[in-house]
Amino acid sequence: MPTPVRLAPFCSTKAAIKLHTLLDLRGCIPAFIYISDGKLHDVNVLDMLSFEPGAFYVMDRGYVDFTRLYVLHQAGAFFVTRAKSNFNARRVYSAPCERDSGVICDQRVALNGFYAARDYPEHLRRIRFKDPESGKTLVFLTNNTVLPALTICALYKQRCQVELFFKWIKQYLRIKKFLGTSENAVKTIAIVKKELQLDASQRMTASRNPYCDRTPARHAENRDTRPFIGA
């Protein structure tokens, strides 16, 4: 998104802003929005969140920071993410699993390395899954030890809704001209534009917009309100 260079410096010839969003996968309204310059790493946004006990936070590998994940764990929330290629841990226990389902292993692991073990001193759950469609092997990490392994894999699959949401945002959130160049002006214009687009999307039918809430109004009061959030 083109922005005044002095507000959001990114390189010598370009400026950029990031729209960090915590998306409630049950609906179409983001639970958290933060606008920063393009240089802020995504993982820093975890420091700004108030984690809700019992909620599942589904995030990609860019958010794997064991210090921050342990804060999330201590708050009583759950995370589901993918392991990085250099993930270093030792197996403590292996649970039985049915390989025909695609789950190769379901393990409890302890982190190796002095700093990693210090930042996250408890065991993690590692699930290795082979996608029958693509043939790729994916390694998931979570602090939830109750749900079946396939359910954890299905939760991460819901992250595609986040990707679709941002694809939709990039398609419709087009700001041709900024009326102001101050930080407050740019953020206000971006947020107002996004709110208008979200309001318009809610007015569309569910068949035309995948982000509209499909829950009938007469059943809304009985809907499960437990947070389920993707980042």
Residue 205, domain member (yes or no): no
What range does the domain containing 67 cover? Answer: 17-192
Residue 220, domain member (yes or no): no
Residue 91, domain member (yes or no): yes
The count of structural domains within the chain is 1
pLDDT in tens, 37-87: 778 888 998 999 989 999 999 999 989 999 999 999 999 999 999 999 999
Query: Coil, helix or strand for 204?
Result: coil
Residue 102, domain member (yes or no): yes
pLDDT at 104 over 90: yes
Rounded average pLDDT over 196-200: 55
Higher local confidence (pLDDT), 82 or 160: 82
Q: What is the pLDDT of residue 152?
A: 95
pLDDT at 165 over 80: no
Residue 28, domain member (yes or no): yes
Residue 159, domain member (yes or no): yes
Q: What is the pLDDT of residue 224?
A: 43
pLDDT at 166 over 80: no
End-to-end Cα spacing for the chain? 20
pLDDT, averaged across the chain: 76
Residue 136, domain member (yes or no): yes
Percent helix / strand / coil, the chain, rounded to 5: 35, 25, 40
Q: How large a percentage of the chain has pLDDT more than 90?
A: 41
Which residues, 6+ apart, have CB-to-CB distance to 8 below 8 Å? Answer: 15, 16, 17, 37, 38, 186
Residue 226, domain member (yes or no): no
